[in-house]
């Protein structure tokens, strides 16, 4: 399970940062929120590549705009 810790609107998309090891999250992966809404990952970003101590502690992904907020809990569908 992943907790949303940051949201950044980018055009018609959202960049969201998820707390947790995102090794299994890939482009096209489906995430689901507590209400059963499915969110498709458009792209996975590697924003911590310059500071290896943080790699694997969170992951940033690009998704379509949706009704999501900081603190939301997502899991892999």
- pLDDT tens-digit map of 21-77: 888 899 999 999 999 999 999 999 866 556 666 666 789 999 999 999 999 999 999
pLDDT given at position 51: 64
Count CB neighbours of 27 within 10 A: 11
Count CB neighbours of 39 within 10 A: 20
Q: pTM of this prediction?
A: 0.85
- Residues 69, 71, 74: CA angle, nearest 5 degrees: 85
Q: Please return the burial class of 70, using the count of CB atoms within 10 Å of its CB with bins 0-12, 13-18 and 19+.
A: exposed
pLDDT given at position 54: 62
The CATH code of the domain at 2-76 is: 2.40.30.10
pLDDT given at position 73: 96
Residue 9 near residue 65 (C-beta atoms within 8 A): yes
DSSP label at residue 28: T
């Amino acid at each position: 399970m992943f907790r949303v810790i940051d949201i950044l609107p980018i055009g018609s998309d959202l960049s969201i940062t998820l707390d947790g090891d995102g090794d299994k999250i890939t482009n096209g992966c489906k995430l689901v929120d507590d209400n059963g809404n499915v969110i498709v990952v458009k792209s996975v970003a590697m924003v911590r590549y310059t500071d290896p101590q943080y790699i694997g502690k969170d992951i940033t992904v690009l998704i379509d705009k949706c009704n999501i907020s900081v603190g939301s809990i997502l899991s892999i569908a």
